[in-house]
Amino acid sequence: MDYKEILATKIAGLVNMDLNELKEYIEIPPNPELGDYAFPCFRLAKELKKAPPMIAAEIKEKMELDNVIDRVDVVGGYLNFYINKEGLVRSTLEDIYKKGEAYGSSEIGNGKTIVIDYSAPNIAKPFHIGHLSTTVIGNALSRIYKHLGYNTVSINHLGDWGTQFGKLIVAYKLWGDEAAVNEKSVMELLRLYVKYHEEAEQHPEMDDEARAWFKKIEDGDGEALSLFNWFKELTLASANKVYDMLGVKFDSYAGESFYTPFMPATVDELRKKNLLTVDDGASIVDLSEYNMPPCLILKSDGATLYATRDITTAIYRKNTYDFCKLLYVVAYQQDLHFKQFFKVLELMGYDWVKDCEHVNYGMVSLEDGAMSTRKGKYILLEDVLNAAISKAKEIITEKNPSLEKKDEVARQVGVGAVVWSPLYNNRIKDIVFSLDKVLNFEGETAPYAQYTHARCCSLLKKAGVFGKEAELLDALDTEPITSSNAVELIKSISALPDSIKQAADKNEPYIIARRVTDICGKFNKFYTESRIIGESENVMRSRLALVAATAKAVSVGLYLLGVEAPEQM
């Protein structure tokens, strides 16, 4: 049962308020003694012109109890609802057993497409820890929206255009070696890129040569394109190793260069719609009326800019995918850029721009300051993942030396620990990256959730019901799992579908991470206080049914976040 939906419907029949809005306001009290759900009547005070406690009392008086609601109390301005425990237990277990991996899924997205632009590393630069947030947030959102029935298109909008490629060609021709580049791949390209910037500080004329080489790329020069494509292939091969470790897949790798042929049409359209103004030789869209700096479309030499490419890209994606949403998972440093080019699309008359959203997130810095690839200051994401896997294997070897498939479990746990780190907090929060913190396997972390899942699986195996969990529902006696700690666990499991919907509504995967952690915490309390193996057959089967439901809920939540759920640890 969707208890929030049921309660909202009951309240909506008594007051003049939108059902969906009511549902948003219904909350779970922090103290179970205050009920299973609560509705703050402060929301109705202005419209009804009455004090919240009086409104709560009037609604309580009119509300009929049934087999869903056992009791309604008024506490201050709140209506506190107490759900029928047996109905809660039975409906939750039946739902999760029926749906399995599809628990919390829905069909609200059927027939709709969501395009998600994320990760987007720059060609010829290493895949470093700064790429972690965009990659795992984008991947989680893709999985969440698919779970809700949407067709999702994951796009890796590669940074494969710009003067930096002219700089790299200059560096390669001056100091590069084909064999060294083939052997060391992106790391050798980075060495050349860093050396270029060191030398260019003393010899600024090198930048003119770099611009000339990029112009050759734009003009289709054979040698320039050959080098450019070589650098691109090496970068993708290196990045794909990391994507494979993270379990991330893309539907398109169309980068900035892909949209180059379409940009003249965008510029022509801006001119025809009288949106372009020439300022000091550059072509701009004046946004002063909207309290924003001008949006640069063409440099004085006619070269395009990020805004030109992003406007063109958005139009192409709408024409190609007819999306209901276009999400850009990009750091908040680019907030102004997105506001500017979204406004330009609006001025061009594209009303679908309302469906474009910048899903921003906090920046990642090192403990001794910001990262900079041009200065060679970064941490490779592959190194972090390997360090986490190595640390996980050490812990497993120490605590469970006889574990089968030790390497596989270490990979699942190590990668999960790294993936979880940007997903547990509100995405806008800045992260000071610390290897020690990421590799902390205690507390509210992915390894903690994974261990809870493995503990559930171990109990089911020990009882001989692993893989046969559905049989536990036969003649289920709910009484052994209506104790306070069992009910609190079931309430948290039953709240997972709503957490999934909220995560999609707000583009905030952390809502699922917090729900998974809450389920794990409540399970471990239930496990500590309630004997399972060794109880009477009836009690044991009832409690094992709850154990199996917990394992499935944790597994579903972890999957949506891009974290694997090992059966043993």
What's the total number of domains in the chain?
3
Query: Buried b / exposed e across 284-319, counting CB within 10 Å, b at 16+?
Result: bbebeeeeeebbbbbeeeeebbbbbbbbbbbbebbe
Q: Is residue 53 part of a domain?
A: yes
Q: What is the mean pLDDT of the segment spanning 520-535?
A: 94
At residue 162, the pLDDT reads: 82
Q: Of 65, 83, 101, which closes a domain?
A: 83
The residue type at 369: G
Contact 115, 327 (CB under 8 A): yes
Tens-place pLDDT, residues 429-448: 888 877 777 777 677 899 99
Helices 510-529 and 484-494, packing angle to 10 deg: 160
Model confidence at 132: pLDDT above 60: yes
DSSP string, 302-351: S-B-HHHHHHHHHHHHHHHH--SEEEEE--GGGHHHHHHHHHHHHHTT-G
CA 541 remoteness from chain centre: 36
> pLDDT exceeding 70 applies to what percent of the chain?
98
Q: Which helix (H) or strand (E) holds 359?
A: strand 356-359
Q: What is the mean pLDDT of the chain?
A: 92
Q: Is residue 292 part of a domain?
A: no
Are 356 and 220 found together in one domain?
Answer: yes
For the chain, helix, strand, coil in percent to 5 are: 60, 10, 30
Q: Which of these, 412, 491, 531, lies nearest to 87 by C-alpha position?
A: 491
Tens-place pLDDT, residues 173-186: 999 999 999 999 98
Distance CA 74, CA 483 (A): 24
Min mean pLDDT across 262-271, 381-390, 431-440 is at 431-440
At residue 372, the pLDDT reads: 57
Q: Of 367, 394, 411, which closes a domain?
A: 367
Residue length of the chain:
569
Are 523 and 391 found together in one domain?
Answer: yes
Structure tokens at 487: 């009910």
Are 355 and 486 found together in one domain?
Answer: no
Structure confidence at residue 139 as a pLDDT band (50, 70, 90): very high
Tell me phi and psi for residue 556, to 5 degrees: -65, -45
Are 339 and 411 found together in one domain?
Answer: no
Q: What is the mean pLDDT of the segment spanning 509-528?
A: 96
Q: What sections of 254-305 are H helices per DSSP?
A: 263-272
Residue with tokens 């969707």: 2
Looking at residue 44, which CATH number applies to its domain?
3.30.1360.70
Which residues is 159 bridged to in the sheet? 122
Of residues 254 and 373, more confidence is placed in 254
Longest CA pairwise span in the chain (Å): 85
Tens-place pLDDT, residues 284-343: 999 999 999 999 999 888 878 889 999 999 999 999 999 999 999 999 999 999 999 999
Looking at residue 400, which CATH number applies to its domain?
1.10.730.10
Distance CA 95, CA 268 (A): 55
At residue 19, the pLDDT reads: 85
Min mean pLDDT across 148-157, 360-369, 377-386 is at 360-369
Q: Of 367, 396, 412, which closes a domain?
A: 367
Tell me phi and psi for residue 185, to 5 degrees: 55, -130
Structure confidence at residue 377 as a pLDDT band (50, 70, 90): low
Structure confidence at residue 385 as a pLDDT band (50, 70, 90): very high
Q: What is the mean pLDDT of the segment spanning 360-374?
A: 70
Are 416 and 470 found together in one domain?
Answer: yes
Q: Which residue segment(s) compose the domain that 196 sits in?
A: 113-260+310-367
Are 349 and 200 found together in one domain?
Answer: yes
Tens-place pLDDT, residues 57-75: 999 999 888 888 989 999 9
Of residues 456 and 444, more confidence is placed in 456
Are 346 and 452 found together in one domain?
Answer: no
At residue 376, the pLDDT reads: 57
According to DSSP, the β-strands at 431-433 and 282-285 are unpaired
Model confidence at 500: pLDDT above 80: yes
Tens-place pLDDT, residues 210-250: 999 988 988 889 999 999 999 999 989 999 999 999 999 99
At residue 66, the pLDDT reads: 83
Model confidence at 370: pLDDT above 70: no
Are 324 and 177 found together in one domain?
Answer: yes
According to DSSP, the β-strands at 69-75 and 78-83 are antiparallel
Q: Is residue 387 part of a domain?
A: yes
Residue 519 burial class via C-beta count within 10 angstroms: exposed 0-12, middle 13-18, buried 19 and up: buried
The residue type at 134: T
Structure tokens at 59: 């609604």
Are 172 and 201 found together in one domain?
Answer: yes
Tens-place pLDDT, residues 13-31: 888 788 888 888 898 888 8
Q: Is residue 403 part of a domain?
A: yes
Q: Is residue 93 part of a domain?
A: no
Q: What is the mean pLDDT of the segment spanning 168-174?
A: 95
Are 386 and 362 found together in one domain?
Answer: no
Contact 86, 478 (CB under 8 A): yes
Q: What is the mean pLDDT of the segment spanning 361-388?
A: 75
Are 28 and 156 found together in one domain?
Answer: no
Q: What is the mean pLDDT of the segment spanning 79-93?
A: 92
Are 315 and 255 found together in one domain?
Answer: yes
At residue 150, the pLDDT reads: 98
**N-terminal to C-terminal alpha carbon distance within the chain:** 33
Distance CA 341, CA 306 (A): 9
At residue 366, the pLDDT reads: 66
Structure tokens at 464: 């001989």
Looking at residue 198, which CATH number applies to its domain?
3.40.50.620
Q: Is residue 270 part of a domain?
A: no
Query: Buried b / exposed e across 27-50, counting CB within 10 Å, b at 16+?
Result: ebeeeeeebbbbbbbebbbeebee
Our CA angle for 386, 390, 391, nearest 5°, is 120
Distance CA 122, CA 374 (A): 12
At residue 371, the pLDDT reads: 53
Tell me phi and psi for residue 314, to 5 degrees: -60, -45
At residue 128, the pLDDT reads: 86
Structure tokens at 144: 């969440």
